Amino acid sequence: MDILEQLNYWAAISLAMVGLFTIMSRGHLIKKLIGLSLFQTSVFLLFITIGKLSGGTAPIISKDFLYYSNPLPHVLILTAIVVSIATLAVGLALSVAIKRTYGTGEDDELEDLDRNEGEP
Amino acid sequence: MDQKKYKGEKKIDLYINIIILIFVLLTGIAAVWLRNLVASAMLLGIYSLLMATLWVVLDAVDVAFTEAAVGAGITTALLLFSIWLTGKHEKKSTKKPWLPLIGVIATGGLLIFGTIGMPDFGDPNAPAHLHVAPYYLQYSVSQTTSPNVVTAVLASYRGFDTLGEVTVIFTAGIGVLALLTGLRRRRRSQKLEIKK
The last residue of a domain, from among B70, B90, B110: B90
Domain enclosing residue B173, as ranges:
147-196
Q: Which of A85, A94, A104, A110 has the most B C-beta neighbours within 10 Å, making it the best mutation to test the interface with B?
A: A85
Q: Percentage of residues in chain B with pLDDT exceeding 90?
A: 45
For residue B148, the 8-state DSSP code is B
Residue B142 lies in a domain: no
Of B84, B79, B86, B14, the residue nearest B48 (C-alpha) = B79
Instruction: Decide: A41 and A22 in contact? Cβ < 8 Å.
Output: no
Does the beta carbon of B73 lie under 8 angstroms from any beta carbon of chain A? no
* A37-80 tens-digit pLDDT: 999 999 999 999 998 888 888 888 888 888 889 999 999 999 99
Enter the ipTM: 0.91
In chain A, domain spans:
27-105
B31 contacts A28? CB cut-off 8 A: no
Q: Does the residue B134 lie in any domain?
A: no
Terminus-to-terminus CA distance in chain B, angstroms? 83
> Cα dist. B54→A48, A72, B25, B43 in Å?
10, 18, 12, 16
Residue pair B43/B31 in contact (Cβ under 8 Å)? The answer is yes
- CATH of residue B81's domain is 1.20.120.1200
> How much is the pLDDT for B196?
63
Q: Residue B44: list chain A partners with CB under 8 A.
A: 34, 37
Domain boundary at B71, B90, B109, which? Answer: B90
What pLDDT digit, counting tens, does each position of A7-18 carry?
899 999 999 999
Size of interface A-B (CB pairs under 8 A): 282
8 A C-beta contact, residue B4 and residue B17: no
Query: What confidence tier does B9 reach under pLDDT thresholds 50, 70, 90?
Result: low
Residue pair B45/B75 in contact (Cβ under 8 Å)? The answer is yes
Residue B145 in contact with residue A67, Cβ under 8 Å?
Answer: no
